[in-house]
Amino acid sequence: MRASAQLEEERVWRILKDVPDPEIPVLSVVDLGIVRSVKADRVVITPTYTGCPATQVIERDIRAALDAAGYRDIRIETILSPPWTTDWISPEGQEKLRAYGIAPPTRRAVECPQCGSTDCEEVSRFGSTPCKALWRCRACGEPFDLFKCH
């Protein structure tokens, strides 16, 4: 690959890293793993949940960010397969979630994002958005959202 093309792609990645997720604005679309690849002529994205209402907003926001940076010719392509998984949330994204008060997805014991205790219980398997469940910490008594493994 020519150096200039590579630089262009890196620039596009940097632009996308500043596009926030509309539901969880501390995370960028890159942190969430929504952006699957960047090529000279296109950005490939994948929806999180099939019915996530944020999907259309995300595409619009990415379009606006690319347009604003002068990349009007780059098109946005949506793919479904392989299906999105929370494993694609970057380690940086997981930290941002925790700092925001949402427990990041984990296959081990759930940790309270407020006090760090693992003495937690599920209140409701569905939360305020399809991707979250409602939990409560028995140690500090605080309720919190858990980003579900998916």
Partner 1 sequence: MASLPPIDTPSGETGAGAFDAPARDENGALFDFLLRLGDDSLILGQRLGEYCGHAPSVEVDLSLANIALDLIGQATFFLNYAGEVEGKGRDGDALAFRRDVLDFRNCLLVEQPNGDFAQTMARQFLFSTWQKLLFGHLAGSADATIAAIAEKALKEVTYHQELAREWVIRLGDGTEESRRRMAEGLDWMGRFVPELFEMDDLAVFMAERGIGADLAAFRADYDAQAQKALAEATLEPLAEQRPILGGRRGHHSEHLGHLLAVMQFLPRTYPGAVW
Q: Which residues bind partner 1 (CB under 8 A)?
A: 47, 49-53, 79-84, 123-130, 134, 150
- Cβ proximity to partner 1: between 18 and 122 the closer is 122
User: How is 69-117 classified by DSSP, letter by letter?
Assistant: TT-TT-EEEE--SSPP-GGGS-HHHHHHHHHHTEEPP-SS----TTT--
Which two three-digit tokens encode residue 132? Answer: 């979250």
Nearer of residues 6 and 37 to partner 1, judged by Cβ: 37
**Minimum distance between the CB of residue 144 and partner 1, rounded to whole angstroms?**
15
Q: Which is nearer to partner 1, 4 or 81 (CB)?
A: 81
Closest to partner 1 by CB, 14 vs 126, is: 126
Provide, rounded to whole angstroms, the least separation between the CB of residue 109 and partner 1.
Answer: 21
Closest CA to 23 of 54, 63, 62: 54
Least distance (Å) between residue 126 CB and partner 1:
4
Write down the least CB distance from residue 123 to partner 1, Å: 7
SS3 state at 45: strand
Contacts of 44 (CB under 8 A, 6+ apart): 35, 36, 37, 38, 77, 78, 79
